[in-house]
Amino acid sequence: MIIHDKLIGLANKERNKEPFDHWVLDGFFESNIAFGLERDFLGYEDPSWFFYDNAIEHKKALNNWGKFPSLTYRVFDELCSPKFVDALSRLVGVSLVADPGLHGGGWHIHGDGGNLNPHLDYSIHPKLRMQRKINIIIYLSSELQEHHGGHLGLWRHDESMNGPGELVKEVEPRFNRAVIFDTTQNSWHGMSRQLSQPKGVFRKSLAVYYLTEPADGASMRERALFAPRQAQSGDEGVRDLIRMRADSSSFATVYRQKSKKD
């Protein structure tokens, strides 16, 4: 199960620079591995999931290695291995380190109505004190269709509003597709199309984040910074939620804070 070779091939492919540096790679895993990883996911109602359930995010996540079956455990181990991280570092041109704690990463799953507002990821890892630089997200839902939604949106930064501006690109969460992108370029991303899928169909993904030494002038923010959707722009409750979600002293109190949905 050698997947760092995929990055060596990707190095010969020109990176997409709009609205920020990113690559899209289909067939990331061998087919049998991808289907095995899809089957490994716990059921959506399993109590092990951490549930983000509020007006700006509606998803479940799990980063507990003890809960991962053997195949998933081995894949995360390889994604954090020196060979893979070295290949990724060569691809992006920056020396990286993996976060084996999977802070914010691991398994992600969205059910019907799943949502993730446009946001910037945390800038500084709250424990390692390094800057988050690269995300890898691999989609693993073979039954999810294009019309079900759940697309990854990439927004241009609007300097005048200091927030997301034009939606430049949508990436369908196609089975066994990996998206790699730089998180340090005012990289507004999220779910551009809310999910609407049949019962029993979910948007599943693996996510691993990679760190580097903080750049001069890097934001010291330790939590994600969300933006309201257009329909939420006048909702003060949503704006308060966003402020609290980005604050290290209050973020833990708002994950399940109910508010007006967009």
Q: Which residues contact 104 (CB under 8 A, 6 or more apart)?
A: 61, 63, 121, 122, 207, 209, 224
Please give the model's pTM, rounded to 2 decimal places.
Answer: 0.94
pLDDT at res. 15? 85
Per-residue pLDDT of the chain (262 residues; tens, 9 = 90+): 556 676 766 766 678 999 999 999 999 999 999 999 999 999 999 999 999 999 999 999 999 999 999 999 999 999 999 999 999 999 899 999 999 999 999 999 999 889 999 999 999 999 999 999 999 999 999 999 999 999 999 999 999 999 999 999 999 999 999 999 999 999 999 999 889 888 899 999 999 999 999 999 999 999 999 999 999 989 999 999 999 999 999 998 998 865 444 3
Report the mean per-residue pLDDT for the chain. 93
In CATH terms, 4-253 corresponds, of 2.60.40.3500, 1.10.10.10, 2.60.120.620, 3.40.50.720, to 2.60.120.620
- Residue 178's beta-bridge partner residues? 25, 138
Beta strands 163-171 and 152-158 are antiparallel
Residue 55 one-letter amino acid: A
Provide the Cα torsion 192, 141, 40, 114; round to 10°.
30
Tens of pLDDT along 57-73? 999 999 999 999 999 99
> How far is Cα 186 from Cα 121, in angstroms, rounded to an integer?
9
Q: What is the CA radius of gyration of the chain?
A: 17
Q: What tokens appear for 90 in the block?
A: 């060569």
Tens of pLDDT along 102-138? 999 999 999 988 999 999 999 999 999 999 999 999 9
Domain ranges of the chain: 4-253
pLDDT at res. 129? 97
Q: Which residues contact 14 (CB under 8 A, 6 or more apart)?
A: none
